[in-house]
Amino acid sequence: MNICVIGAGYVGLITSLCFAKQGNRVICVDKDIEKVDKLNKGIPTIFEENLEELLNECLTSKTIFFTKDIHQTIRDSDVIFIAVGTPEMDNWDVDISQVTEVINQISYSINDYKIIVNKSTVPVGTQKYVKELLIRNGVSKDKFDIVSNPEFLREGKAIYDFLNGDRIVIGYDSEKAKMVMEKLYSTFNTKVVFTQPEAAELIKYASNAFLATKISFINEIANLCNKVGANIETVAYAIGLDKRISPEFLKAGIGYGGSCFPKDTKALVKIGEKNECDFKIVNSAIKVNEEQRLLPVKVLLDKYKSLKGKVITILGLTFKAGTNDIRESPSLFIIEELLKQGTIIKAYDSEASPEIKQIFPNIIYCHSLYDSLIDSHCAVICTDWEEFSTIDLSMLKKKMKNPMIIDGRNLLDLEEVKKNNLQYYSVGRGNWINY
Ligand SMILES: NC(=O)C1=CN([C@@H]2O[C@H](COP(=O)(O)OP(=O)(O)OC[C@H]3O[C@@H](n4cnc5c(N)ncnc54)[C@H](O)[C@@H]3O)[C@@H](O)[C@H]2O)C=CC1
Ligand SMILES: O=C(O)[C@H]1O[C@H](OP(=O)(O)OP(=O)(O)OC[C@H]2O[C@@H](n3ccc(=O)[nH]c3=O)[C@H](O)[C@@H]2O)[C@H](O)[C@@H](O)[C@@H]1O
């Protein structure tokens, strides 16, 4: 099939490459010319498992091409995927202006029948809105069908997830479009759910909100564990043995970040509001997360009372391991708050995207883990990078001014911590050790 994917970000790039690998001819369009140039040269624009190999495989087989020219690409394609950003607005609404812009561009370029597939996460009702917009722009009804096909990949495991997802969801209102989508996904060994567009749009928000709620729930249990002397790892393990609960997404820590859980939970609350449904549980999950991500600041203030002039090391800037993405990372909120308290911040993350330097130009970025610990009063582990779980604790002790760790991802072995006589706080594993 001739496929066009608009947007070469996390979702668009992976969608393009995975469809190209399945034997389709794919053109991926992005308005960022620097991205387009790099990708055509085989240089990955994001940090993602197996991306470089797949990109170069598809470039060599000429099944993929990247361009800025949306007009010609639309004309040459049978199926057009939209994978542009849908960021959060200050009032928790979803900003779908990038989708609108793409639809306006399609309206201008469309020459014959196209299936337009929305892969971006968009509010319920967007399929209908897009349809109406095309018609308002003068495109005749028989020239298009609109499908809603939300994406469930995780960053870091994006290629694997795209090809081996738990389900593919297709929201459609035309048999013709359904048949084409069925054919397109026929090579995937994944359960396909065909449904109405509104249901497809809602499935995406409900999935993310459920997972986010699960994390906030376990974090509240972890906070209680700290008070009563129970270990969250044992508690979560035992809860997760119940197949109805499942062991996934029960890892306690300093909360969820990323470009989706924070924005999609808020979007669902807003969609609910507009339909007179008060999402109390999701609202609470958001609130718990906002407090949880600042837990290290609270712990530090409890210990030091004033943090002015204290040197604090932040270990990990990305929102989780396996990605360079810093969007809504808990570490950003921690750094922001610690700077307000007058601390000196040293940060280390070997992969974090360089944009971090624009957000915090005045903190010290270290090139090595151990350098970041020199003269520090406390190291706060914010990301579950493997490098931090295998840290040499005796070396850490020598480097730091005060050997204290707040482990926001429960990475370190408690026995090792005790053996090294470190002051140590983790999330739900017994409050302070050696304090
Ligand atoms: N990042 C993730 O893991 C997942 C994201 N999603 C959803 O997928 C959508 C895209 O997310 P990301 O890929 O993370 O976004 P992103 O911000 O990484 O990429 C979006 C890309 O679209 C391009 N773009 C915007 N307007 C354009 C236009 N008119 N023409 C050509 N290119 C244009 C931008 O330059 C950018 O490269 C969002 O709705 C997000 O919620 C869904 C599942 C997973
Ligand atoms: O819509 C999206 O963008 C995507 O959002 C998440 O994927 P992602 O944000 O890449 O990462 P996750 O692995 O889900 O982790 C999200 C956050 O939750 C945190 N987390 C995760 C699991 C857990 O048990 N505990 C926990 O604190 C992680 O540290 C991270 O900050 C979903 O898992 C994907 O299915 C979805 O497609």
Give 19-70 pLDDT, tens digit per residue: 999 999 999 999 999 999 999 999 999 999 999 999 999 999 999 999 999 9
Nearest CA to ligand 1 atom 34: 7
pLDDT digits (tens, 9 = 90+) for 111-140: 999 999 999 999 999 999 999 999 999 999
Q: What is the mean pLDDT of residues 400-409?
A: 97
Q: Residue 122 CA: which ligand 1 atom is closest? A: 39
Inform me whether the pLDDT recorded for 197 exceeds 90.
Answer: yes
Whole domain around residue 73: which residue ranges? 2-195
Q: Are residues 218 and 182 in the same domain?
A: no
Coil, strand or helix at 145 = strand
Q: Are residues 213 and 183 in the same domain?
A: no
Q: How far is the CA of 87 from the centre of ligand 1 (A)?
A: 9
Active site residue 260: yes
User: How far, in Å, CA of 33 to CA of 249, rounded?
Assistant: 37
Inform me whether the pLDDT recorded for 102 exceeds 80.
Answer: yes
| E strand or H helix that includes residue 147 | strand 144-148
Q: Are residues 320 and 395 in the same domain?
A: yes
As a whole number, the mean pLDDT across the chain is 97
For tokens 């109805």, name the residue.
244
Q: Are residues 317 and 418 in the same domain?
A: yes
CATH label of the domain that carries residue 251: 1.10.1040.10
Nearest CA to ligand 2 atom 3: 260
Nearest to 353 by CA among 315, 372, 320, 326: 326
Q: What local confidence, expressed as pLDDT, does residue 433 receive?
A: 82
Inform me whether the pLDDT recorded for 414 exceeds 80.
Answer: yes
Q: Residue 154 CA: which ligand 1 atom is closest? A: 3
Inform me whether the pLDDT recorded for 93 exceeds 80.
Answer: yes
pLDDT digits (tens, 9 = 90+) for 249-284: 999 999 999 999 999 999 999 999 999 999 999 999
Q: Using a 6 Å cutoff on CB, does residue 153 contact ligand 1?
A: yes
Query: Which amino acid makes up residue 202?
Result: L
Q: Are residues 81 and 135 in the same domain?
A: yes
Q: How far is the CA of 117 from the centre of ligand 1 (A)?
A: 14
Nearest CA to ligand 2 atom 18: 256
Last residue of a domain, one of 154, 174, 195: 195
Last residue of a domain, one of 290, 307, 336: 290
| E strand or H helix that includes residue 364 | strand 364-365
Nearest to 432 by CA among 411, 406, 402, 408: 406
Q: What's the number of CA atoms in the CB half-sphere (13 Å) around residue 63?
A: 17
Give the number of whichever ligand sits closest to the CA of residue 28: 1
Q: What is the mean pLDDT of residues 221-236?
A: 96
Give the number of whichever ligand sits closest to the CA of residue 247: 2
Residue 121 assigned to a binding site = yes
Q: Using a 6 Å cutoff on CB, does residue 152 contact ligand 2?
A: yes
Name, in order, each residue with C-beta under 8 angstroms of 262's C-beta and a sequence gap of 6 or more.
88, 256, 286, 289, 328
User: Per-residue b/e over 413-431, b at no fewer than 16 CB within 10 Å?
Assistant: ebeebeebebbbbbbbbbe
Q: Using a 6 Å cutoff on CB, does residue 384 contact ligand 1?
A: no
- Please report the DSSP string for 291-333 in residue order: HHTTHHHHHHHHHHS--TT-EEEEE--SSSTT----TT-HHHH
Q: Are residues 125 and 273 in the same domain?
A: no
Could you tell me the CA-to-CA distances from 395 to 359, 399, 400, 432 in Å, in that order? Answer: 31, 6, 9, 21
Backbone angle region of 313, left / alpha / beta, with phi > 0 → left and psi within -120 to 50 → alpha: beta
What ipTM does the predicted assembly reach? 0.98
Q: Using a 6 Å cutoff on CB, does residue 8 contact ligand 1?
A: yes
Question: Would you place residue 432 in the very low, low, confident or very high pLDDT band (cuts 50, 70, 90)?
Answer: confident
The torsion angle over the Cα atoms of residues 386, 350, 248 and 239, rounded to 10 degrees, is 60
Q: What's the number of CA atoms in the CB half-sphere (13 Å) around residue 164?
A: 5
Q: What local confidence, expressed as pLDDT, does residue 431 receive?
A: 76
Q: Using a 6 Å cutoff on CB, does residue 282 contact ligand 1?
A: no
User: How far, in Å, CA of 380 to CA of 359, rounded?
Assistant: 19
pLDDT digits (tens, 9 = 90+) for 286-303: 999 999 999 999 999 999
Last residue of a domain, one of 267, 290, 313: 290
In this structure, the chain runs to a length of: 435
Q: Do residues 261 and 212 lie in contact, with contact meaning Cβ atoms separated by under 8 Å?
A: yes
Q: Identify the active-site residue in 28, 58, 260, 366.
A: 260
CATH label of the domain that carries residue 388: 3.40.50.720
Give the number of whichever ligand sits closest to the CA of residue 122: 1
Rg (CA), the chain: 24
Strands 423-426 and 432-433: antiparallel
Q: What local confidence, expressed as pLDDT, does residue 243 receive?
A: 97
Q: Using a 6 Å cutoff on CB, does residue 14 contact ligand 1?
A: no
Q: What local confidence, expressed as pLDDT, does residue 172 receive?
A: 98
Q: Are residues 306 and 385 in the same domain?
A: yes
Q: Are residues 45 and 183 in the same domain?
A: yes
Could you tell me the CA-to-CA distances from 21 to 16, 84, 159, 180, 309 in Å, in that order? Answer: 9, 21, 11, 18, 54
Q: Are residues 28 and 152 in the same domain?
A: yes
Q: Using a 6 Å cutoff on CB, does residue 210 contact ligand 2?
A: no
Q: Do residues 20 and 12 lie in contact, with contact meaning Cβ atoms separated by under 8 Å?
A: no
Q: Give the tokens for residue 332.
A: 């950003």
Question: Would you place residue 336 in the very low, low, confident or very high pLDDT band (cuts 50, 70, 90)?
Answer: very high
Q: What is the mean pLDDT of residues 202-231?
A: 97
Q: Are residues 152 and 241 in the same domain?
A: no
Inform me whether the pLDDT recorded for 353 exceeds 90.
Answer: no
Q: What local confidence, expressed as pLDDT, does residue 434 receive?
A: 75
Q: Are residues 44 and 133 in the same domain?
A: yes
How many of the other CB atoms lie within 10 Å of CB of 309? 10
Nearest to 120 by CA among 238, 228, 205: 205
Q: Are residues 282 and 297 in the same domain?
A: no
Q: Residue 260 CA: which ligand 1 atom is closest? A: 41
